[in-house]
Structure 1
Amino acid sequence: MSPVPDHELEALRSLTGYDQTVEMDRLCRLYGIDEATLREAVTSGRPGVQTPPSQLWDTSYKDIPGLDEASPVSVPTLVDKERFRFEYDPTREAAQRREQVNQAILCSACGVPLGIPNIRPIKVTCPACLFETTYTH
């Protein structure tokens, strides 16, 4: 019989990894036993009973959303261009690019406003999240 009380062994069985190692070290020092004896007491205390791994969600069922619920990625969310300031870069090349901006859209991944010309199809890479998409509408 182990000198370690059952409630301590139960608490030790419920722990895993580093927490279990620290608790084993504490119990070894507290009760004056070696680690091998404590491990044997933990495994032989309840033969055949193992603590089940805790699952945060049920993985046996997978809900597949319908296609009618999904929003197409290539349809941009147009917003009023005048609400945003695209003049943060004072270079001449940036001024030429700003002259080509006719529309403002929101990035479909992160929602950052992007200024784009009205050329379609257009491949856009968001500078904030690096999400890349091609708009055809």
Structure 2
Amino acid sequence: MTRERLVDARLHLLSRQVLDADGEPVRAVDDLELTGPDGQEARPGEAAQVGAILVGPTLFTRLFGGAVPASRLPRIAWSDVAHVGTAIELSVRSDELDADWVELWLRDHVVGRLPGGRHDAEADG
């Protein structure tokens, strides 16, 4: 049996920290993917529910323009959410998610190409 809870998305979800099952920070909620009661795309004027939370590169697209392809939007399925409180707590570990692909890509293709970008500066000192 599933429990339904009515939440105000702006108040309870958006910009909240997401923690994995171990309590480790994953990302912050940037946006929501809504679905209709039948699991299909939500339609205006009809009941909707959260299908996934999006934790992606929306800041990059606001700064630099363009749009992330829908297939590459980092999403966390709502079924992986264990608790909504001061933070969004997940029932899965972060290494089971595909939410960090942007950071990994930037690390490998941008930061890693900078002088000194492939080592931990704090470990040197």
Greater strand content: 2
TM-score (norm 1): 0.22
Higher relative contact order (CA 8 A, sep 6+): 2
TM-score (norm 2): 0.23
Higher radius of gyration, 1 or 2:
1
